[in-house]
Amino acid sequence: MSAAAVVRKKRYNVRDTSKFLKTVGGSKEHCCVPLCSASSRYNTHLSFHHFPKDTNLRAQWLHKIRRARFSVTTHTKVCSRHFHVKEIHTTAKGRRVLAVGSVPSLFEWNNYTTASRAGVWERRSRPPSPEPDPPGPDEDLEQPVMVPMVMDHDYGASRTIEAPTAKIVRVTRAKNTYATTTTIESLSTRPTKLLPIDEFFLFLTYLSTGCTQRELGHRFNIHRATVSRIIVTWANFLYSLLGSVCIWMSPAAVKASLPPDFNGSYSDTQVVLDCTELRCQTPSSLLLQSEVFSNYKSHCTFKAMVGMSPHGALTFVSALFEGSMSDREVFRQSGITSLLTPDMAIMVDKGFLVDDLVPGPVHRPAFLSKRAQMSEVDVLKTQSIARLRVHVERLIRRVKENKLFDTTIPLSIAGSINQIFTVACLLSNYQNGPLVKKWRL
């Protein structure tokens, strides 16, 4: 093959098939629809139509032909193959025009048809439903059918689980939101298909892992709304059950378990207090944002105060307050003042200026005030208090090992977060052993 023949072969583009079509018209109108190569130069059976001047109708055309950010000019046209035959009319002069309000609907991607595709539920093959067994001669047709549940473990039927939940108050979708159950739940009266032990496990999983309710619904094969109701139900139930146990210790009990590190100047310490904050979702209301915004965390937060006995047990937990509230105000509104007597001392951080709110002494690190340097006595006092007070921060860290508190608390559970946080604090007394190993009693 000669060099000239090779050059001529390269000039021909096999994709440009229109070069080999027979010309039947003089105009050069083309269709702007993707995947459509119609041209009036090679096809006289098609008509080409301008885009409508109406803005809304033109937007419908652009949406249908799938051309985003497309500039329409006077030469931009759509061929008649994308319209129904009934939408195209021929005038007395033989000109083909569109009916008013016509929109292109026939394309390559819908196989030039407007037949709607069946939904996923209709396309999905499902096994045929089994026919019910015919009733026996002695069976009553009006009696309800008991649906058995698969028992994958035997501890769910234990009386130790069913007995405390005999009077559980459940949250339902009914108008009467709270329905008290006074009898032990059975397979027919249980509001969900989960056993009480499984519902309790779901709540603990939500608390410890911080999974979303949608993910828990997928894991337990229940609806997300059911997961939400189970969480609220068990948060309220455990809040009442664990809250009925008095965790506040008498001075005699504190003295009996007082660690040797507190002997001396701090032997009268009744409780070690500190505040903690939970990050929450930012509300849309500017007023609420100003109330829950914390300057310390630079984020919207909920704030609570936690108290620990000298030997490491949780003895006090307050309700959750707005993040903008000071430590002194949280202390005042927490209600702990009514539990203190003149012979009880508290150990706090520098932010707790509560000397006028408590009847007894306050052990607090010294302030530098206007001095250039602390005295030796103040330095030793600050070090000794910090060495003892650090364990309340370890207690708070133990509570926050529940991954739910590592995430940003959504406002959708703001109505139950107070109960959930209190339950997490109370459960810390039943897990992981003593807070300080050398203080093991």
The answer on 169 and 234 residing in a single domain is yes
From CA 423, how far away is CA 428, in angstroms rounded? 9
The answer on 86 and 175 residing in a single domain is no
Which residue is listed with tokens 């109960």? 419
**Helix axis angle, 224-243 to 196-209, nearest 10°:** 90
The answer on 320 and 264 residing in a single domain is yes
The answer on 386 and 360 residing in a single domain is yes
Domain extent at residue 40: 15-98
> Residue 204: in which H helix or E strand, if any?
helix 196-209
Q: Is residue 130 part of a domain?
A: no
From CA 211, how far away is CA 232, in angstroms rounded? 15
Q: Is residue 121 part of a domain?
A: no
Amino acid at position 322, single letter: E
The answer on 256 and 350 residing in a single domain is yes
The answer on 361 and 343 residing in a single domain is yes
At residue 257, φ and ψ (nearest 5 deg) are -110, 20
Single out the residue in 183, 215, 243 at which a domain terminates: 243
Question: What is each CA distance from 118 to 121, 123, 124, 126, in whole angstroms?
Answer: 8, 6, 10, 15
The answer on 177 and 31 residing in a single domain is no
| Predicted local confidence at residue 114, as pLDDT | 74
Structurally, the chain folds into a number of domains equal to 3
Helix ranges, 244-276 (H): 251-256
Evaluate whether 65 touches 38 at the Cβ level (below 8 Å): no
The answer on 285 and 233 residing in a single domain is no
Handedness of CA 216, 218, 222, 224 (dihedral sign): positive
**Residue/partner pairs of 236-243 with CB below 8 Å, 24 or more apart:** 236/169, 236/171, 236/416, 236/419, 237/165, 237/168, 237/169, 238/203, 238/419, 238/423, 238/426, 239/419, 239/422, 239/423, 241/164, 242/422, 242/423, 242/426, 242/427, 243/422, 243/426
From CA 297, how far away is CA 408, in angstroms rounded? 13
Evaluate whether 277 touches 323 at the Cβ level (below 8 Å): yes
Q: Is residue 111 part of a domain?
A: no
The answer on 335 and 313 residing in a single domain is yes
The pLDDT tens digits along the chain (441 residues) read 555 555 455 454 444 544 444 455 556 788 889 888 888 777 778 888 889 988 888 888 888 888 877 888 888 899 988 898 888 888 888 888 888 889 998 888 888 887 766 655 565 665 665 565 565 555 444 444 444 444 445 444 445 555 566 567 777 765 444 444 444 455 445 666 788 899 999 999 999 999 999 999 999 999 999 999 999 999 999 999 999 999 999 999 999 989 988 888 899 999 999 999 999 999 999 999 999 999 988 999 999 999 999 988 999 999 999 999 999 999 999 999 999 999 999 999 988 999 999 999 999 988 877 777 888 888 888 898 988 898 899 999 999 999 999 889 998 898 999 999 999 999 998 876 667 666 554
Q: Is residue 172 part of a domain?
A: yes
The answer on 393 and 327 residing in a single domain is yes
Q: Is residue 105 part of a domain?
A: no
Q: Is residue 1 part of a domain?
A: no
For residue 39 the two structure tokens come to: 């041209």
Evaluate whether 375 touches 381 at the Cβ level (below 8 Å): no
Single out the residue in 221, 243, 265 at which a domain terminates: 243
What is the Cα 49 distance to its own chain's centre? 51
| DSSP designation for 364 | -
Q: Is residue 123 part of a domain?
A: no
The answer on 297 and 262 residing in a single domain is yes
From CA 398, how far away is CA 116, in angstroms rounded? 57
Evaluate whether 114 touches 105 at the Cβ level (below 8 Å): yes
Single out the residue in 75, 98, 121 at which a domain terminates: 98
Handedness of CA 113, 114, 120, 122 (dihedral sign): negative
Q: Is residue 146 part of a domain?
A: no
The answer on 256 and 239 residing in a single domain is no
| Count of CB atoms situated within 10 Å of the CB of 35 | 9
